[in-house]
Amino acid sequence: MKSTRQLLDDRIDAARLRLSEAAARAASSAATPQDHVDAENAISDAVHWIDARSKLLTGGRYRADGSASWVQDVGLAVKQLDQSAQRRLKLDAELRSTMSNYGGNVVPQYLLDQVRLSGSSGRPVCDLLRQPLLADGATMTVVRVSTATTAEAQSAENTGATADDPATSEIALPVVTVISEATLSLQLLQRAAGSTADSVLIGDLLRALDAEQERLVLNGSGSSGEPTGLLNQSGIGTVSLTSTSAPDLLDAVADAAQESFVATGEPADTVILSPRRWTRTLAKAGNYGAALSAAVAPTGPVRGQMVGLDVVTSKAVPATLGASTDQDVVIVCRRSDIVMAESDAEVFPLKDTSNNSALQVDLVGARSFVVGAIRPAGVVKITGAGLVAPYA
């Protein structure tokens, strides 16, 4: 397999050949206006690939310790038609695998990593469940087996198996888009200082997208453009908790896990709860160490174990439920039964703003996703008066 440098060298050679041919046509006495346009395009193409190779060799791509500012280039490429910024963005897009839905600029991975590993990720459930979204289509169709094929011991030699007629069904999940907009001064973009500015400006926009997507994945209403979140899926199971003691919560989680297993024939593996419920349960569970443990220096969404299930805490878990609007909820599920597929996050600037004289640039962030339960009965929520503000 060729290296990136070799691929760029091949592109440069091909661009030089096209430039030579286009220049010859443009210089001939029979040249047409289109021949001159082709020559200009060939020059631009050759400059782009030569610049790309130069940036690769000098480490000029967008990175955490780089001097180039991605957000600065995004703004200036459109607002001022800056050709250098346009070439850097084009190079970045071509040297890494991306999936663009809007024709915008896909956020570099290092910025996503900085937000998610900063200790304040607003989307732990999304991080746990995420998978790639298909590049096109207004819905994502998920096929599931409703009547499975069976197996059996062969009753005797030369005896055939019993033929089955497995049945499948489909779930069509609508693609939903979350967006966030930030208005920045053009002076701020012009004076942006490399990756530091990117981390601050794009980090703030990404956190807004992440928090809203997390809320929709758990609590989406299924109307007004929102998807149907896990808590509002039709056919999910329920367990009631009336006691406020930590041991009774553990018992309720175990009960929900067995209910999920009975419904699907597969063991649950995840419990999702609010941060307040998790921290106070750790403090109040007493001698239940075998049933409850916190992860040591967790670096991902899993914060520990509860009755053998991975614990994920999310700020998007509602805490205003019940008659007195002071109850939260706990979700027990098998995460492979949940579909949460998403596109890359993109940022693109608006060419026109309502007040161009103010020297402003509007940056819009967007991400598309789908969410749904393949087997809703395997998702069990724990509700009730036992889930008031915990163990005061």
- For the domain covering 107-144+167-392, report its CATH number: 3.90.1690.10
pLDDT of residue 237: 96
Pair 342, 126: CB distance under 8 Å = yes
Looking at the chain, the whole-number percentage of residues with pLDDT higher than 70 is 77
Does pLDDT of 286 surpass 60? yes
Per-residue pLDDT tens over the stretch 337-356: 999 999 988 887 766 555 55
Flag the least confident range among 69-73, 206-210, 266-270: 69-73
Instruction: Grade residue 369 by pLDDT with cuts at 50, 70 and 90.
Output: very high
pLDDT of residue 242: 94
Instruction: Grade residue 104 by pLDDT with cuts at 50, 70 and 90.
Output: low
**Amino acid code (one letter) for 47:** V
Does pLDDT of 71 surpass 70? yes
pLDDT of residue 351: 60
pLDDT of residue 112: 77
Domain boundaries, the chain: 4-106, 107-144+167-392
Comparing CA positions, the residue from 202, 42, 180, 33 lying closest to residue 111 is 202
Task: Give the pTM.
Answer: 0.74
